[in-house]
Amino acid sequence: MPLKQTAITVLLLIFFAGTVCAQIPSDYSNWNFSYAGEYGHFTAHNESADIVLTNGTGYLTTALVEALAPGDIILLNLTYNLSPYTVFAGIKIIVGDEVVYNKQFESIASSVVAEFHANKDHIKGEEFRIMLYSYGGNSTFTIEKLSVIVPKSGFSEGLLLSGMGITMVFFVLSILAAVMYLNTKIISKEESQTAAKKQEKQAVISKPQKIKKETVSEEEIAVITAAISAYMEGRKFRIISVKKSPWKYYGRLAILRRRLK
């Protein structure tokens, strides 16, 4: 299993080991329903309830079966469908005398996940109330199961923090290792290319260059000998070597021609 997937699995295990879910009564048939307005209707199911409101406010009330402490997370799923004539509608959740959630709906129909926290201690048996209101038309609401997530402190929290820290360390080390590996590959490739270029230059420099020897033909030697003989006016001379030099050749030839004239 890759390192990243292993770290994520460890974090999830530590997180779920550090939390526990407590239940607020989900059997809505045991909740008390009251209504203030023109019309209100309440229907309870296994773990959900349907509420119909017309120009008024409906109250669902129960008692806490467990105490709530600051930081406890409460979750509630709600689906609503408002009348086009609805002026305003919303939901408010009250624990004891503390309003823990308050939201006014902005669309005609939607699903809401209400997530809120207790800000103080609430004892077992304290009143838990869900208030729904709608004014201007006929509106329907469906409330699903309520649950409370109670984070554990102490050893489990230490495990969670340790797991997060270890995961971050391994993640950063993995990134550094990958960067160093790529840098090593790039540097070795550049060094090999540089070495190959140096070898090519050294091969070109050390390669012996063929020097083309310039030769003088026999006809040119005969012409040069005749010219020198005419210039020397019969005196003896000896040709030691003849090197091809265009400028010297043409200059001497021009001088000999002027003398022969």
Do 37 and 137 belong to one domain?
Answer: yes
Q: Where among 116, 151, 186 does a domain terminate?
A: 151
Residue 179 maps to a domain: no
Do 33 and 141 belong to one domain?
Answer: yes
Amino acid of residue 170: F
Number of domains observed in the structure of the chain:
2
- CATH code at 84? 2.60.120.260
Do 110 and 233 belong to one domain?
Answer: no
pTM of the predicted model, to two decimals? 0.51
Residue 53 maps to a domain: yes
**Is pLDDT of 12 > 60?**
no
Identify the residue with better confidence: 260 or 163. Answer: 163
pLDDT value at residue 139: 93
Residue 93 maps to a domain: yes
pLDDT, tens digit (0-9, with 9 covering 90-100), for 115-127: 888 888 888 889 9
Q: Where among 112, 130, 151 does a domain terminate?
A: 151
Amino acid of residue 110: S
Distance (Å, whole) CA 230 – CA 62: 142
pLDDT value at residue 72: 84
- Supply the range of the domain harboring residue 247: 218-260
Do 137 and 228 belong to one domain?
Answer: no
Residue 4 maps to a domain: no
Amino acid of residue 68: L
Q: Where among 102, 132, 151 does a domain terminate?
A: 151
Average pLDDT for residues 238-245, to the nearest whole number?
Answer: 65
Distance (Å, whole) CA 170 – CA 45: 49
* Report for 67-76, 206-215, 239-248: range of highest mean pLDDT: 67-76
Residue 103 maps to a domain: yes
3-state SS string over 44-102? ECCCCEEEEEEEEEEEEEEECCCCECCCCEEEEEEEEECCCCCCEEEEEEEECCEEEEE
Which is nearest to 80 in space by CA: 59, 100, 60, 53?
53
* Report for 129-133, 168-172, 208-212: range of highest mean pLDDT: 129-133
Do 28 and 142 belong to one domain?
Answer: yes
Residue 167 maps to a domain: no
Residue 245 maps to a domain: yes
Do 228 and 131 belong to one domain?
Answer: no
Do 133 and 244 belong to one domain?
Answer: no
Which is nearest to 113 in space by CA: 66, 68, 74, 72?
74
Give the helix/strand (H/E) hosting 240.
none
| Burial annotation 100-134 (CB, 10 A radius, 16+ → b, else e) | bbeeebeeeeeebebebebeeebeeeeebbbbbbb
* Averaged pLDDT score across all residues of the chain: 77
Do 117 and 223 belong to one domain?
Answer: no
Contact 165, 104 (CB under 8 A): no
Residue 234 maps to a domain: yes
Q: CA quadruple 192, 197, 200, 205: dihedral positive or negative?
A: negative
Alpha helix segments (H runs only) across the chain: 3-17, 155-206, 218-232, 246-260
Q: Please, how many CA atoms are within 13 Å of residue 166, restricted to the half-sphere of its CB?
A: 14
